[in-house]
Structure formats: structure tokens, C-alpha cells
Structure 1
Amino acid sequence: MSERVTINITRQEDYRFLVEFGPQYPTLIADEPMPIGEDTGPAPQHLLAAAIANCLCASLTFACRKYHEDPGEFAATVTCVSGRNEHNRLRITSVEVSISLGSKAEQLPHLQRALASFEDFCTVTQSVERGIPVKVDIFGADGAKLH
């Protein structure tokens, strides 16, 4: 199955762009941080980080629901690390994601099985990982590292 997603991006001025996801979604302003841009919206690296974290969270939910379990409320923090390449060009060198579950692991009997497979369901992360290392950690409600 193939799917196409079309997004329209229109330059407004300098480094500020209007990002349109389609008529059913609100538009977004993207901009570069100062001193290059005016920092009026998220920069491309912010959008990439958000896409990775959102996809991982959706994939974790999907993996848990395969076992008819609800992971409940949980949160993710994602960090894009940037550095210079051999041509002195700025690149994202790695991505670090930390997901903190709101539920205790004992409340999800199949959690370990879900954690063993959820990353495979994440379209964005699996695609990005071909060029950028992505490290994912999962923590339980008690702070214990689960994955």
C-alpha cells in the first residue's frame, strides 16, 4: 500500500514560512531561530523532532492496543543534537527520545512484548534512522527504565 502526503509551504518573508497541511488542519508558521530568522515558529529541526516523537508515541499506543491494553497517558521528550560535518555544514547528528509512561508496568501485562516491537511500527523513526541515529528510552511511572 502506498500513501501520499502533500504539504504546501509558502515563503512569507525572510526565513518565515506558512506550512499548510490541508484544509482540515490548522496552518503553522515555521521560522529559523535568531539571528538568522525571527524565531516566530518552530524551525525544521523542531518539526523533525516532533514527527519522530509523535510517531513513536503513536506506535507505542498501537503496539499496546494489539494486546487490548491501554497505555494511558504518557509523555515524550525528544532532543535533536546538531553538529558540523566534514564540510562544516550543520547537520542533525543524533536524536534522543525519552518516553515516560503514566501507568505502572504491572498494569500492562503485555508491555514487554509491546516494547519489543513498537519501534518497528514507527514509519518516521524507521525512515530517519537510515541516516540519523535515534536512541529511544522508555521509563515507567516509577522512573524505572523499561526499554
Structure 2
Amino acid sequence: MTSAVSITLTRQANYKFLVDYGPGLPGGTLDEPAPLGGSEGPSPVQALVTAVAGCLSASFVFALAKFKEDPGPVAIAATCSLARNEYNRMRVTGVDVTLKLGTPPQTLAHLQRALAQFEDFCTVSQSIRAGIPYTLKVVAPDGEVVKAA
């Protein structure tokens, strides 16, 4: 199966772009941070790390839902590392993700099976992994690490 996702960016001013996701979806704004842009919306790098975190979150919920289990109010934090390459150009060098369960792990009978497979369902993280390394940690509500990769 082949499919496509399309968006349209329209420049508003300087580095500020209006994002159109298509019919029926609210648009948004991308903008570079000051001093280059006006910080009137997330930057493209923030959009990238949002896509990774959002896809991993949805994949995790999907993996547990297959077993009719609910992880509760999952919270996910992601940090994107930036550094200059050999040509002094800024590049994303890594993404670190921490997914915090909303319920104690012992209440999720199929948690280990979900943890073993949910990353494979994530279109975004698996697509960027070849060029941008990322780490993932899943923690219980009390902070106990239930998965680290």
C-alpha cells in the first residue's frame, strides 16, 4: 500500500509560514525563533520533535489497545539535540523521548508485549531513525523505568 500526506506552507512574513493541513483540519503557524524569526509559532525543529513524540505516543496507546488495555493519561517529553556539522550547518543530532505511564505498570497485563512492539508501529520515529538517532524511556507514574532503549 502506498499513500501520501500533503501539507501546504505559505509565507506570511520573514520566516513565518502558515501551515495548511487540508480540508477539515485547523491550520497552524511555523516560525523560527528570534532573532531570525519572530517566535510566532513552533519552529520546524519543534515540529519534527513533536512528530516523533506524537507518533510514539499514538503507537504506544495503539499497542495496548490491541489488548483492550488503557495506559491512562500518558505524558511524553521529548528533547531534540542540535549541533553544527563539519560545514558549520546546524543539524538535529538526536532526540530523547521519555513516555510516562498514567497508570501503574502492574495494572497492565500486556505491558511487556506492548513495549516490545510499539516502536515498530511508529511511522515517524522508524523513518528518521536511519539519519537521526533517538532514545526512548518508558517510566511508571512513580518514576520507575519500565523500558529504556
TM-score by length of 2: 0.97
Render the CA deviation track for 1:95-123: whole Å, top value 9, x for unaligned.
00001011000110110110011000000
Task: Quote the residue 1:10 is aligned against.
Answer: 10
For residues 5 and 41 of structure 2, the distance between their equivalents in structure 1, rounded to whole angstroms, comes to 22
Amino acid at match of 2:95: V
Shift in Å, 1:59:
0.3
1:85 aligns with 2:99: no
* Structure 2 spans left out of the alignment, 5+ residues: none
Residue aligned with 2:34, SS: coil
Runs of 4+ in 1 over 2 A off after TM superposition: none
For residues 72 and 22 of structure 1, the distance between their equivalents in structure 2, rounded to whole angstroms, comes to 30
Q: Percent identity?
A: 48
Amino acid at match of 1:10: T
For residues 8 and 87 of structure 1, the distance between their equivalents in structure 2, rounded to whole angstroms, comes to 30
Amino acid at match of 1:121: F
For residues 20 and 130 of structure 1, the distance between their equivalents in structure 2, rounded to whole angstroms, comes to 28
For residues 8 and 88 of structure 2, the distance between their equivalents in structure 1, rounded to whole angstroms, comes to 30
Task: Quote the residue 2:52 is aligned against.
Answer: 52
Q: CA RMSD of the aligned region, Å? A: 0.7
For residues 130 and 6 of structure 1, the distance between their equivalents in structure 2, rounded to whole angstroms, comes to 22
Task: Quote the residue 1:26 is aligned against.
Answer: 26
For residues 142 and 109 of structure 2, the distance between their equivalents in structure 1, rounded to whole angstroms, comes to 16
Residue aligned with 2:146, SS: coil
Amino acid at match of 2:67: Y
Amino acid at match of 2:146: L
Task: Quote the residue 2:102 is aligned against.
Answer: 102
Residue aligned with 2:25, SS: coil
For residues 139 and 24 of structure 2, the distance between their equivalents in structure 1, rounded to whole angstroms, comes to 34
Residue aligned with 2:76, SS: strand
* Structure 1 spans left out of the alignment, 5+ residues: none
Amino acid at match of 1:91: R
Task: Quote the residue 1:38 is aligned against.
Answer: 38
Amino acid at match of 1:53: A
Task: Quote the residue 1:112 is aligned against.
Answer: 112
